[in-house]
Each structure stands twice: as C-alpha cells, then as structure tokens.
Chains A and B, each alone.
Chain A
Amino acid sequence: MIEARGLTKRYGDKIAVNDLSFTVRPGIVTGFLGPNGAGKSTTMRMLLGLDAPTAGTATIDGLSYVDIAAPLREVGAMLEARAIHTGRSARSHLLALAATTGIPTRRVEEVIDLVGLTDVARKRAGGFSLGMGQRLGIASALLGNPGTLILDEPVNGLDPEGILWIRNLLKSLAAEGRTIFVSSHLMSEMALTASHLIVIGRGRMIADVSVQELTAMSSRDQVRVRTPDSARLRELLARDGIVVTSHGDDVIEVSGSSSTDIGLIAARAGIPLIELTPQQASLEEAFMDITRDAVEFGTPQRPDAELATAGRSTT
C-alpha cells in the first residue's frame, strides 16, 4: 500500500506537485494519469526518496522509502527506462543492483528470461532500442520480487505485442496481491489495464476514482438522433430548452436530455425517428474533460503556473 499525504514539491517559486493525498491499494492496478508535465514523475520520485518533498509525506507499507531495509525486495521501480549506464550489459546492470540486497544470480537470469531479453543480456545497453530499454527497466523493477511496483510510463516505446505483454503482466501481478502504481498520459491504455485511477493536472488532484466512476463524471453524455425531419425536431427541442450540439442533414446530437424524453417529444409531434442512441463519453473524452476543467477552473493560479509545470515536462 502506497500512501501520500499532502505531498508537495516546489522548485523555487514553481509548484510541481501541490498538496497531493492519495492511497494506492494492493490487489489492483492503479493508474496515475495526467497530461505531460502534470507532476506524475515528480510524485513518483518523491515516493522513492529520490526527490525530497517540500511538504507532506509518502510511505510504502507504512515506511518512508529511505527507511526500508531491503528496498529492492519491497518496492520495484521503473522511473525511466534509461536508468542504466550505456556502457554496461543488461546482465551486469542487474547483477550490480541485485548485489546491494543479496539477490542471487539465479534470480537475475530469471527476470532476464521473464522480460524476454535473454539473447541480448550480455550486450551493451547503449545499443538497446527503446522497447528493449523498457523491458530492462521492468526487469530491474521485478528483480527483488517486490510487493509494490511503481512504474513510470512503462508502455512508452513498446510495440503492440509488448504493450499487451505489460498489460497482462501488470494484471497478473496485481492478482497476486501486489500494489501496482502505473503512470501514463494515455487514458486509453489505462482504461484497459487499471481498475482505479488517480488523475492529476498541474500538480493538483483532479480525480481519485474507479474507471467506471470516471466515465460517469463526464459531462459529455449525448444522444444521437437520426430523423428525416431534423429541422422540426430541433425547433421542438429548442422550445423545451434542450441544446442541440451538432447537426448534419438528418443527424443531430443532443445533450442535456435523455433518449426517453427525446423519443417522447418526437412521438407526440409525429416525427419519425430512424435512430436514437445514447452516447456515453469515451474514457479518453472524460479524461480530456476533467483535465481541461482543472486547467480552466483551477484555483486562482499565477499566470506563470502553467509554465511552471510545462518547464519540467520530463517530470
């Protein structure tokens, strides 16, 4: 279990992470979402004691990361795929990390096989493709067979087969009761992998919800109506104060009303309906919606606040 309480990181007068509090529970994959520069990586670095928070605390299974006696065996982390010396082979890299906690060579071979790097394990990591680097990052995270995994953008640079592999790996690891915390800026990917989502924007908490709840939160519920008499139906709906957001020759999209109401209105006026489809916003849209709201209606921000987060786009 990962717990953040009032986590804040300030660089000079720029706030990268602003008073974040959340809990990541074991047994499920928790997605950590936000646009680029939202503060995801900074938050993860604070969880791992690499960056010191300006305020607040972060604990893993009740302990601050620095106080964990055998960190690799408790927490596996992949902050960026390229946390490896380019002149060293994947195998030597893993052996060096493993040695700090007395992890046997056998386990090193095991994770190399697990991530599918067996053939290139003795080659210099500098020549690795992005996908191979990602797999090596995963291998180092799994090295100590930890109960908690913290992965920053693990699917970046992977081919479709690799993405599918990660997705299944994370789900199976979660099913074993581990705590899995995975960041991404791609909602569509998280929708397939995670069951809980923590969404941040500009360093602030936007939503801490299950995937279903997030879809429901979207304001974009619309009904798509196809009728040969769209002009008349628009008039009728407008009379009731219902907004028609778009229309084609015979298709209109209506928001702020249910398909039942629209159907009844049309029936009373004798307008034939060819199609009447409630359209739930996709998760992608829901995500865009809530992150845009955060940007537009956030707390009174200094004008430079957006720059502040954008400036650390790698965070």
Chain B
Amino acid sequence: MSTTMQEARTTTTANAHLPQVTQARVIESEWIKLRSLRSTFWSFFAAAAFVIGLGLLFSLVREQNWNQMPPPEKLLFDPTQTSLRGTYLAELAIGVLGVLAVTGEYSTGMIRATLSAVPRRLPVLWGKLVVFGAAVFAVMGVSSLITFLAGQAIMGGTHHQASLSTPGALRAVTGAALFLTVICMLGIGLGFLLRSTAGAIATLFGLILVLPILVQALPSPWPEHITKFLPLAAGTVLMNTVKDPTMLAPWTAFGVFCLYAVAAIAAGAAMLKRRDA
C-alpha cells in the first residue's frame, strides 16, 4: 500500500505544474455528475414523453373534432402551438430537474466535496448552467421537433397543418426548447439561492403557475398591464404562430422571461459566494 502511495507521490512531485481547476474541467465534472444520476435520466425521459405524448394527443383530438369547430375558432387555430402543448407539462419535470441539480447536492452533503474541489465556487454555478442548459435544449429541441412533425402529419388529414416553412413555426419549435432551457436555469438559480428542495420548487412554480392567478384577482385594468410581463406568459409567446395582441412581441417577451432567470441566477451566485457551505 505505502509503496503505491510512494510511487504515485514521486510522479506528482515530478510534474510540479499539474492541471489546475479551469472552467472547462468544472463543466466536464458537472457533465459526469449529470450522466451518473438515474433521477436525471428519468426527468429527461418524463419531459420528452410529456412533450411528445401530449402533443400527439392534442393534435389527434383537434384533428377528429375539426369539422365540429365553429368557424371563428378555426380562423384563429394555431396547429403549431397545438402540437407543442405538452411543453406546459414538461416544464414541471424540467423545473424540478434544475432545482434538484443544486439542492440534491446540498441535501446529501455532496456540495462540500464539490466546493472543496472548486473553492472559487462560481465555476460550479456556470458549469451547471452550461451542462444542464445544453442538455435540456438538445433533448427538448429534438422532442419538440418530433412532436411538431408528427402532430402536423396527424392534422394533415383535414389539411389545416403547418410545416417548418410556415411563418413562425421554426421559431415556435425552437422556442419550446428555449422556454424549457430557461425554466431549468431558473431552477438552478433558485436552488443556489434557497438550497432547500421544497423551498426552491415552491418558489419556482409559485412564480410560474400561481402568480398569474393572483394577478387575475387584481381590479381592471391591472391584469392586462401586468400579465404579459409574468414569466409563463412572457416565456411562451415564442410558441405561438398566431399573433396575440395582448402579449409582447415574441423575442421581447422571451427577453423579459430571461430576466427572471438572470435575477434568480445573480441572487444564487451572490449567496453561493458569500454563505458558508
């Protein structure tokens, strides 16, 4: 045993200038962490299944009821958005994934090993954002594309389908993946800010799902003024191809949505840097 250590020690001393901690290495470390948890796989699987399964289901229901639909409704019908409806359920799985990427480390004590290895701390936050952001965008991008193409094929039976060349369709498919990517990052930011799984999940879905309901309770005209700036409303405009006049312009709306994530990440970064681990 001591011989092994002795030999190894000598090698170490021989290479005095050994690799240091870099952002790229921390990203690699976070990638290993992402791949090595079964729960991460199931979150991705669930999110993809929601997007594709519900997208196909909604497309099928619309297709079968197309002839009973009143004409004014037909005029505003958005086949792209219909096939992407599953995104609203996938956001739950992806939000929880982002939160657990951080709070899972705090609740198990893993965070102390992580921060001992990367004592400057912030590279861990950036690493998680990059790795989870890229993974969510890739998996959900593919899922959105699949559900879009399959959904349109279904709705093609009554010839009211969209295609990728339909104005706004490609943006909507990308937008669904972008929305979920930012949801995940918002979860990561809140995870570092609050450290507790329950607290961060409650805050995340309070912001996304409960806040709009509370705003609706305000007297007119407040709801109309405020709603378009709320995270869920602003984050999902990209997914519409039929313009909704009560909402902000697509990319402006997405920018507003991103600001929520930026705020949560900035607050999380400040806490990560300052608080005892």
Contact = CB atoms under 8 A, between A and B. Distances in A.
A51 B119 CA distance: 11
Contacts, number: 133
Contact of A100 (B6, B29, B110, B276): B29
Contact of A114 (B1, B35, B115, B116): B1
Contacts of A280: none
Interface residues of B, number: 43
Contacts of A172: 1-2, 5
Interface string B2-24: 10111011011000001111000
Contacts of A102: 18-19, 25
B207 interface: no
Interface string A69-98: 111110101011011111111001101110
A110 B11 CA distance: 14
B2 A87 contact: no
A251 interface: no
Given A95-B32, A140-B113, A69 B21 contact: yes
Contacts of A101: 18-21, 25, 117
B39 interface: yes
B224 interface: no
A68 B116 CA distance: 11
Contacts of A82: 108-109
Nearest to B277: A50
Interface string A107-147: 10010001000000000000000000000000010100100
A265 to B, nearest CB: 53
Interface of B: 1-2, 4-6, 8-9, 11-12, 18-21, 25-26, 28-30, 32-33, 35-39, 104-105, 108-120, 274, 276-277
13 contacts: A45-B277, A71-B21, A71-B119, A73-B18, A77-B116, A83-B116, A84-B110, A87-B37, A97-B29, A99-B25, A99-B29, A101-B18, A107-B8
Given A87-B38, A102-B18, 20 more contacts: A50-B115, A50-B116, A52-B276, A68-B119, A69-B21, A70-B21, A71-B117, A75-B116, A84-B110, A87-B37, A88-B33, A88-B110, A95-B32, A103-B19, A114-B1, A145-B5, A145-B8, A172-B1, A172-B2, A176-B9
